[in-house]
Structure 1
Amino acid sequence: MAQALEFLFDGEADAAVRGLWRELERAGVPSLDTRTHRRHRPHVSFAVAGGIPARTREALADDLRLLSIPSLWLSTLSAFPGPDSVLMLAAVADTELLAVHSAVHDVLAKRVKSPSAYYLPGSWVPHCTLAQGIEPEQVVAGFAALYPVTPIRARVSEVAVVDTHTGEAETLLRLTVPPPRN
């Protein structure tokens, strides 16, 4: 079991990602996590660890309330290769996003069990997973179905700690997201 710190999207971005999932399904690419067979909410994970204790969650919530959480621009269709291939939309890693990520890890440092090296500063690739645990031919089919992708502006509406196996979530922070400008 692992726990992830997830930044969840506003309704418009959530709907846009779910639309991409439907396109993948029509192309024969499962958008469910093929290991757990559950659908997650569209998000970007900022940290993953074996456990994030209650006191650390409180400290995270306190710190996050003081930060300006930037919008995420999901614009690059890409993949992580390997036995657990991931098709994803990578986020633009601008200075504001990296500053929030760094602040999160300042709080987590030496306070979590078994932190995942993939999410540490310097290693992290901010992204929204579109399909996970897929075969190489499904990666190709996913690219064919979605390319070129229209960039998605994802405003963060909630920050939660999520059990990566069960999907159970504890909300740390809810943000008021203003309606989009026309």
Structure 2
Amino acid sequence: MGAALELYFDGVAERRIHVLWNALAAAEVPTLRQLSRRHRPHLSLVGAELLDAPTVAKALADLPAAPPLRLSFQYAGQFVGRVLFLGPAPSTALLTHQAAVWRRLCEAGIELSELYAPGVWVPHATMSMRVPRPVLAEAIRRCLEFLPIEATISSAAVVDHKRDVRVPLP
């Protein structure tokens, strides 16, 4: 999966996550910023092998990609493969918006990853893609020290990191 519809956070929340990334890097935990300077703190609503930005924009024509939803990151978690993330408390507004985006994109014929299907999707902001085992406990501890993080969704983009594409959405 190389493409996603990413939601970005307000400046205060984004700066707090950048400080957390610095703390993780100091503990020898590779962060998203180290993978690419283009990575921003974000929450992915959907993921796919390919996403065509004009098709996504057309499918969401009367549905804002980035409504000003409030998020409260309350916990740190880990996916298989030592992927470290921060999780927001799941709100009805967030889950409803994600399901609506999923439905619209599927109706437009866009093939999405089943990991992002409503009822399966785990809302998260990735901190590290592969935490080294010897520092995993320290990485989680550092994340917990920064919580909670309050954020407001401020913008969105269709992003394909494999192809170095980022197209902001209205």
TM range (shorter): 0.7 to 0.9
The answer for the alignment partner of 1:124 in structure 2 is 121
The one-letter code sitting in structure 2 at the alignment partner of 1:104 is V
Match among 144, 148, 152 for residue 149 of structure 2: 152
* 1:171 and 2:168 are equivalent in the alignment: yes
Q: How does 1:1-182 map to 2 (within 5 A)?
A: 2-32=2-32, 37-39=35-37, 40-53=39-52, 54-64=54-64, 68-82=67-81, 85-110=82-107, 111-113=109-111, 115-173=112-170
TM-fit CA distance, 1:135: 2.4
Which consecutive segments of 4 or more residues in structure 1 shift more than 4 A?
none
Matched length? 167
Contact kept in structure 2, 1:72 and 1:155, CA below 8 Å: yes
Residue 138 of structure 1 aligns to a residue whose secondary structure is: helix
Q: Deviations over 1:139-170 (max 9, x none)?
A: 22202333333211111111110013244210
Q: Deviations over 1:38-70 (max 9, x none)?
A: 1410000000012223223222243117x8541
When residues 32 and 68 of structure 1 are mapped into structure 2, their CA distance, relative to the original with a 3 A threshold, is: closer
Residue 165 of structure 1 aligns to a residue whose secondary structure is: coil
Residue 63 of structure 2 aligns to a residue whose secondary structure is: helix
When residues 81 and 140 of structure 1 are mapped into structure 2, their CA distance, relative to the original with a 3 A threshold, is: farther
The one-letter code sitting in structure 2 at the alignment partner of 1:59 is A
The one-letter code sitting in structure 2 at the alignment partner of 1:154 is A
- Structure 2, gaps ≥5 residues long: none
Contact kept in structure 1, 2:67 and 2:153, CA below 8 Å: no
Contact kept in structure 2, 1:6 and 1:46, CA below 8 Å: yes
With structure 2 as the length reference, what TM-score do the two structures score?
Answer: 0.88
Root-mean-square deviation over aligned CA pairs: 2.1
- Structure 1, gaps ≥5 residues long: 174-182
Contact kept in structure 2, 1:75 and 1:149, CA below 8 Å: no
